[in-house]
Amino acid sequence: MKLEESQALDAFGALSQETRLRMVRVLVQAGLDGLSAGAVGDAVGASSSGASFHLSHLERAGLIQSRRESRSIVYSANYDGLSALIQFLMRDCCSGHPEICAPAAAVAADCCAPAAKENACAC
């Protein structure tokens, strides 16, 4: 998945708000199982209506996804969308100096290592 600049701007705009950024981080940590809207709201201190508003914004930006489970809506990180955003930033990285990108690559390697938290960071 390759992001266009307008899609990247939408995603960065969504992440530029504190509650939404915290929600994405909570959902990344939750892994593929995800969390209910209420659990996400509780984790970041948002009211039900506030959580719903922010989660909808993040979903429209392609950073999270939702699914219905019985009477609940469960949200999870959209790892493809998040990866595409990171790739957008790093596409022209380093200018022949790989050490510049080494810290970012190390974080991704740690996250995606087999010993990493099961069910998280589906690289």
34-78 pLDDT, tens digit each: 999 999 999 999 999 999 999 999 999 999 999 999 999 999 999
- 66: in domain: yes
Tell me what pLDDT residue 39 has: 97
- 118: in domain: no
- 121: in domain: no
Domain count, the chain: 1
- 122: in domain: no
**Which whole-number Å values give the CA distances from 49 to 4, 41, 55, 64, 68, in the listed order?**
31, 9, 10, 18, 18
3-state DSSP assignment of residue 81: helix
Range of the domain at 100: 5-112
Higher pLDDT, 104 or 123: 104
Question: What is the rounded CA–CA span in Å between residue 66 and residue 101?
Answer: 32
Residue 6 CB burial class (10 angstroms; 0-12, 13-18, ≥19) = exposed
- Would you say residue 122 has pLDDT above 50? no
* Highest mean pLDDT out of 1-5, 18-22, 70-74: 18-22
Tell me what pLDDT residue 114 has: 56
Tell me what pLDDT residue 111 has: 66
Question: What is the rounded CA–CA span in Å between residue 4 and residue 100?
Answer: 24
- 82: in domain: yes
- 81: in domain: yes
29-33, 107-111, 118-122: range with lowest mean pLDDT: 118-122
- 28: in domain: yes
- Would you say residue 115 has pLDDT above 60? no
- 56: in domain: yes
Residue 69 CB burial class (10 angstroms; 0-12, 13-18, ≥19) = exposed
Question: What is the rounded CA–CA span in Å between residue 42 and residue 35?
Answer: 11
Mean pLDDT of 8-31: 97
The conformation of residue 75, written as its DSSP 8-state character, comes to E
Q: What is the CATH number of the domain that holds 21?
A: 1.10.10.10
Tell me what pLDDT residue 113 has: 57
